[in-house]
Amino acid sequence: MAPSAITEDYYQILEVDPTAELALIVRSYKRLALKLHPDRNPKRDATEAFQRLSKAYETLSNEDERRRYDLIYPSIKGKTAESSQHTTEQQYSNFARSPGPLSEATRVAAKVAAIHKSKHERATKWRVMNMTFESSIFELKRVIRRLEQEIKDLESILEAEAADEAYKNSWSAWLLAPIYKTAEDTEEEKDRKDRERQERRIEKDMKERRLYHQKAALATVETSMRTSKNEFDTADSRDDVEIQVLEKALQARMHRFRRERENAGREKLRQQQQEQWGESQREAAEAARRQREHREKWLRQAAEAARQQQAAMRTAQGLREEEYNIRWRRNNGEGKKRQQQSAISTSPQASRPQTHTTSCQHDGWWPKIQGHAECPRCNES
C-alpha cells in the first residue's frame, strides 16, 4: 500500500527553520511536547496536535526521512502563500470586473493583480531554488564534517605513530632498551608499517584536497544562494514599490471619484430641496389663495344672509305695522259707524230714506293680508 502524501509543514509545526540543526529540532520538540501533551493541554484537538508534533519530529530527526521530506517541502510550503495570493488576486479581479465609470481604476486594479501574480510565480521559483541550495549546502556541510572528522582521526594516528617513532629513536629508549628488552620490528614489519603510514599520509592528503574542494563548492553555493536571494529581494521590493504607487494612485482616483459623486449627490439634493421648497411655496400660495377665496365667499354669503335677514325683518316689521294699522283702522271705523248709526236713529230725518254716495278712500285697494279682512272705510271684504 502506497504511503499517504504529506501535506503538513513539519518545520512550522516544530517552529524551526528549514536549515535548523538536529539539536535545535530536539529542543523545540521537547518544549512543544510539554506544552501540547494531552495531559497538560485541555483543548479538544490536543491529541491530534500532539500526534502531528510527533510525526513531524520522527520525520525531521531522521536524516534520510528529512532529506526525502525536503524534496517535497517547496510544494507544501507554497500552499499557504498560494492560498493567500489567490485571495488577493480574486479581490483585484472582482474589482476589475465591477461595473463603473472608472475605466482607469479598472486598468490599475488589473495591473496590480498581474504584479501579484508575477510575485507569486517568482516566490514559487525562489522556494524551489532555495530548497535546492539548502539541500546542497546541507549535503556539503555533512561531507565536510565527515572529512574533517576523518582527517582528524588520521592526524591522531599519524601523530601517535610519529611520537612512537620519535621515542624509539630517542636517547631514553636507547638507554632503556637493555632494561625493558623491547623487541625490534622485523624488516617486513617495518616495511608494512611504513607502507601503512605512507598510505595514511596519502589518504590524509587526498581527504584534505577533497575537503578543500568541498569547502570551495560550499562557498560557491552559498554565494549563488545569496546572489539569487538578493535578486529575488530586489525584484520583490521593486514590485512592492510599484504596487504601492499603483494602489496610492488607485486610492486617489477612487477618493476623487467618491468626492465628485458626493458633490454631485449634494448638488442633486440641493436642487431637489429647492424644487421641494418651490413646490411647497406654490402649494402654500395656492392654499392661501383658496383660503382667501373661501373667506371672501363666506363673507359674501354672510353679507347676503345678513341682507336677506334684514330684509325679512323689515318685511316682517312692515307686516306687523300694517296689521296694526289695519286693526286700528278697523276698530276706529267700527266706532265711527256705530256713532253715525246712533246719530241717524236719533235724527228727525231718520225716517226719511236718503241716498248717500260714499266714495271709498282706498279706491278699491288695500293691503292684502292672509285671511278675511274688510276695508275699514267701505266695509268691503
Compute the distance between CA of residue 338 and CA of residue 327 in angstroms, rounded to an integer: 16
Per the CB < 8 A criterion, the answer to whether 14 and 25 are in contact is yes
Task: Please list, in sequence order, all residues whose beta carbon lies within 8 angstroms of the beta carbon of residue 298, skipping any fewer than 6 positions away.
Answer: none
Residues 61, 219, 158, 153: what is their CA dihedral angle, to the nearest 10 degrees? 0
Q: What is the pLDDT at residue 199?
A: 85
Q: What is the pLDDT at residue 351?
A: 47
When pLDDT is averaged across residues 149-157 and rounded to a whole number, the result is 87
Compute the distance between CA of residue 188 and CA of residue 237 in angstroms, rounded to an integer: 72
pLDDT at 92 over 50: no
Amino acid, res. 34: L
Per the CB < 8 A criterion, the answer to whether 76 and 93 are in contact is no
Q: What is the pLDDT at residue 110?
A: 81
Q: What percent of the chain has a predicted confidence (pLDDT) above 70?
A: 74
Q: How confident is the model at residue 219 (pLDDT cuts 50, 70, 90)?
A: very high
Compute the distance between CA of residue 285 and CA of residue 292 in angstroms, rounded to an integer: 10
Instruction: For the chain, state the CA radius of gyration.
Output: 67
pLDDT at 64 over 70: yes
CA triplet 28, 32, 34: central angle to 5 degrees?
A: 125
Domains, in order of start, for the chain: 1-77 (1.10.287.110), 107-274 (1.10.287)
For residue range 235-256, list pLDDT tens digits in order. 989 989 988 888 787 777 777 8
Per the CB < 8 A criterion, the answer to whether 153 and 203 are in contact is no
Residue with cell 274688510: 374
Per-residue 3-state assignment (H helix, E strand, C coil) for 122-175? HHHHHHHHHHHHHHHHHHHHHHHHHHHHHHHHHHHHHHHHHHHHHHHCCHHHHH
Compute the distance between CA of residue 71 and CA of residue 267 in angstroms, rounded to an integer: 65
- The DSSP output letter for 371 is S
pLDDT at 98 over 60: no
Amino acid, res. 366: W
For residue range 7-58, list pLDDT tens digits in order. 788 888 988 888 788 889 999 999 998 888 888 878 888 888 889 999 999 9
Nearest alpha-carbon partner for 168 in 204, 193, 202, 196: 193
Compute the distance between CA of residue 242 and CA of residue 240 in angstroms, rounded to an integer: 5
When pLDDT is averaged across residues 66-90 and rounded to a whole number, the result is 63
For residue range 156-211, list pLDDT tens digits in order. 887 887 777 765 666 665 666 556 555 566 778 778 878 887 888 888 888 889 88
Q: How many CB atoms lie within 10 A of CB 334?
A: 13
For residue range 101-145, list pLDDT tens digits in order. 446 667 777 888 888 888 889 899 989 989 998 998 999 999 999
Task: Please list, in sequence order, all residues whose beta carbon lies within 8 angstroms of the beta carbon of residue 316, skipping any fewer than 6 positions away.
Answer: none
Nearest alpha-carbon partner for 322 in 57, 330, 215: 330
Compute the distance between CA of residue 22 and CA of residue 60 in angstroms, rounded to an integer: 8
Q: How confident is the model at residue 234 (pLDDT cuts 50, 70, 90)?
A: very high
More confident residue, 268 or 2: 268
